[in-house]
Each structure stands twice: as structure tokens, then as C-alpha cells.
Chains A and B, each alone.
Chain A
Amino acid sequence: NAGVMQNPRHLVRRRGQEARLRCSPMKGHSHVYWYRQLPEEGLKFMVYLQKENIIDESGMPKERFSAEFPKEGPSILRIQQVVRGDSAAYFCASQIRGGEQFFGPGTRLTVL
């Protein structure tokens, strides 16, 4: 049973470009969380999704950030018009209902 997969592992974008981060949850997991880790900080919750639904997006910046988890395919975290402050490690975690969250290896975004 493969773990949580994230791609790309490393992503470099110039200011103003778009970044798309993908997360494939563990088999049978229908709950996905996205977290962001800025340098020298802990992980900060961004958004919680179930298939086709956003359950809690209280940690998402109001502008430029969006997330989806379609019926088929991976969850996508999309950042439009990236700025240098978006440089961070973005982690996805998946869960079955009531279970522990299992984390992927992360995507390290660098904005030049």
C-alpha cells in the first residue's frame, strides 16, 4: 500500500507565475489536509478537503490560493501569481474518517 504521494518534490517559479502542487492520498483515504511550513517554523494548517468538498479553509490566504479534491484524481493546491513569501514546504496529509493523518514527503516551492 503506497503512502501519500506528492509531486513535484521541488518546484521553482518566478514571481507572478502559477504553482500547482499535487497530492495523491493513500488508498482508501478520502480526507486530505494541506499544511505549509515556512523556514524555521512548524507546520501551519491551510485547508481540509473531502472528495469534491472543501470542509475547512480557515488557514488559506484569502487571495491567490485555492484547493480542490475532485472525484477522480489527486488533490491540487494552486497558487496564482506567486511571490517570494510563498517559498515554503507544502505538505499534504491523508486520513480515513477518525484515523491518524499520514503525511506525504512534501513539495518544496522556491520563488525566484
Chain B
Amino acid sequence: DQQVKQNSPSLSVQEGRISILNCDYTNSMFDYFLWYKKYPAEGPTFLISISSIKDKNEDGRFTVFLNKSAKHLSLHIVPSQPGDSAVYFCAAKVGGATNKLIFGTGTLLAVQP
């Protein structure tokens, strides 16, 4: 049962353009969403997060949008840079004692110079 889904395994974007990575979820109990970036042979690195009470959070070139009615979130990167090339994971958690993260399968972003 895949509660967090990233339906695009890969995305290719030109340098300077906008990258949009999408994520859908099924569990309406999720109250916090995160994006992680992962390079090969390294662990995931936290990028940006959003609480379920908000619909947008911005940090520099990165913006996350949350549409609760559609159970959909997206990560926008603008402008995209070659160093952004990595696998991006969407993750969600349910508030409570455990804080365990439920991850999507990831999207490989390639930013072409």
C-alpha cells in the first residue's frame, strides 16, 4: 500500500528554467510533509517542509505547495541549476509519538547546462 506516490521517475529540465516535482498521498491523517534530496552513495538531505495547516512554504529557490483537497503537493525549483541534479523524495508523517516518515519512490531530476 503506497501511501505516498511520486509518479514521475525522472524529469529533465534546462538550466535556468523551473523544475516542478509532484507528489500525491492517500492518507488524510498526514499532517506534515517534507522534501529530501539525495545524491548517489549519500543519505537523504532535508530540503524543505510544510505543515498541513499551510498551503505554501518558500525557502530561497525552493517552494513547496500543498493542496489538501487534492492530496497533492509539489516542489518548485527556480531557477534550476546543474547542482540540483539528484533524486528528490517526498515524505509525509502523522503527528504523534513516532514521527516515522513515509517516503515516495523518488524522482530523478537532471538539470541540463
Interface residues of chain A, those whose CB is within 8 Å of chain B, are: 4, 6, 31, 33, 35, 40-45, 48, 55-56, 58-59, 91, 93, 95, 100-106
Q: Is the interface of A mostly helix, strand, loop or mixed?
A: strand
User: Knowing A48-B98, A56-B98, A100-B49 touch, does A4 contact B43 (C-beta < 8 A)?
Assistant: yes
Q: For A4, what are the chain B residues with a Cβ–Cβ distance below 8 Å?
A: 43
Q: Is the interface of B mostly helix, strand, loop or mixed?
A: loop
- Give the nearest-CB partner of A59 in chain B: B100
Partner of A103, one of B44, B100, B105: B44
Complex CA–CA separation, A33 to B102 (angstroms): 12
Q: For B103, what are the chain A residues with a Cβ–Cβ distance below 8 Å?
A: 35, 42-44
Q: For A55, what are the chain B residues with a Cβ–Cβ distance below 8 Å?
A: 97-98
Chain B interface size band reads: 20 to 34
Cross-chain contact A102 with B46 (CB below 8 angstroms):
yes
A-B contact count (CB 8 A): 57
Partner of B100, one of A45, A91, A100, A106: A45
Q: For A44, what are the chain B residues with a Cβ–Cβ distance below 8 Å?
A: 103
CB of B11 closer than 8 Å to a CB of A: no
User: Knowing A42-B105, A103-B45, A105-B42 touch, does A33 contact B100 (C-beta < 8 A)?
Assistant: yes
Complex CA–CA separation, A60 to B98 (angstroms): 14
Could you jot down 30 A-B contacts, CB within 8 Å? A6-B43, A33-B99, A35-B101, A35-B103, A42-B4, A42-B6, A42-B103, A42-B105, A43-B101, A45-B100, A45-B101, A48-B98, A48-B99, A55-B97, A55-B98, A56-B98, A58-B100, A91-B43, A93-B43, A95-B99, A100-B34, A100-B46, A100-B49, A101-B101, A102-B46, A103-B44, A104-B43, A106-B41, A106-B42, A106-B43
